[in-house]
Amino acid sequence: MKSNYIKFGVFLPTGYGRNVTYGFNLDVTLTAEKLGLNSAWACDHLYGGVPLIGKKIKRTSDILECWTAISALAPQTKELIFGTQVVAIPYRNPVVLAKIATTFDVITNGRLILGVGMGRSKDEFLGAGIPWESFDVRLERTRETIEIFKLLCINPVVNYEGKHYKLVKCQLWPKPVQKPHPPIWLGGFGPKFMTLLEYADGWLPPSLTIDEYKKRIPVVKEIIKKRGKPIEMAVEFYTSIAPTYDLALKNCEESIREFTGKDPETVAKHGATVQFGKKGASVKFGAAIGAPDECISSIEEYIKLGVRHFILNFFPKTATIEGLKLYAERVIPYIKGTYA
């Protein structure tokens, strides 16, 4: 393996809190670049957190718009790759999305990973006046959008006839710096959604437990074999790191409970079951909580499954810079040295 074979990125604190600021996100971005991380990622949500609790409306957390935020942050850096974790496809017309993404790729001289998803928050959609369509319709829209994006990046003129989108003599100039197009990564983990990996370059689910991640490996391997092209495997890695396990546990207590409804020790050892909608599938999310050695052990379990890119999502978000420094000092050098 090359020394950079295992990569690390940071999930930017653009949302999920109060008083979210551009300044703090800039500090995180510059710290990540200085410490030698590979990437920085922003989520694409209209609300920070769930706005409805039963019939009572709750104030959402602050959140910065995804593309605006990374477009302001990227010019302050030279090496960091920027990713979207993940773009909610139904929010935008596919040609508009292609224009945004390729412009960003041009501005950054080829430093974009386009992470895409179907959107998952019904409250977000309906609150903004965006139709909340069935799973299958959103799946079809996502597939068509990926197809359109690739066609526009490669061809001078595109005609396209799909179930949901029709393009007539459409053009996209300038073309992106990355050829044939910026990498496309999928952010979901459901069986039907993962069939779209056939069209993608990478897979970046949220912080599934080892067992949950392992269950989905056969699907990834089958698609790789079918198309004869690799898929980069990644994970959005929930974590709380401190010099001691007890301190790491204490630091993330409030944010982990708010996010999962469970205490952090349970999440670290067994995972937290999350139900997606009244009839949706349930899945277990995990987190690496503890001292550097404990975080290293968790990372190594994912490496055994084939994960090669870890996007560090710190709990609480206010501890992101301190967490990055501890990872850069104690965790990343060991991982890259061991798996070089």
pLDDT in tens, 7-20: 999 999 999 777 78
Q: Predicted confidence band at 52 (pLDDT cuts at 50, 70, 90)?
A: very low
Answer yes or no: is pLDDT of 104 > 50. yes
pTM recorded for the entire structure: 0.95
Mean of the per-residue pLDDT values for the chain? 93
Task: Report the pLDDT value the prediction gives residue 1, as an integer from 0 to 100.
Answer: 38
Domains of the chain from N-terminus onward: 7-338 (3.20.20.30)
Over residues 102-110, the mean pLDDT reads 98
Cα 198 from Cα 182, distance rounded (Å): 16
Q: pLDDT tens digit string along 264-310?
A: 999 999 898 876 655 666 899 999 999 999 999 999 999 999 999 99
Where is average pLDDT lowest: 83-87, 140-144, 182-186, 272-276? Answer: 272-276
Top pLDDT among 99 and 48 is at: 99
Reported confidence tier of residue 76, pLDDT bands at 50, 70, 90? very high
Q: What's the pLDDT score for residue 276?
A: 62
Asked whether the predicted pLDDT for residue 3 surpasses 60, the reply is no
Residues 175 and 98: their CA atoms lie apart, in Å, by 10
- At 60, the pLDDT band (50, 70, 90 cuts) reads confident
Q: What is the pLDDT of residues 211-268, one digit of tens each?
A: 999 999 999 999 999 999 999 999 999 999 999 999 999 999 999 998 888 999 999 9
pLDDT at 282: 82
Assess whether pLDDT exceeds 50 at residue 53.
Answer: no
The whole-number average pLDDT for the span 193-206 is 97
Residue 2 has pLDDT above 60, yes or no: no
- pLDDT at position 49 is 66
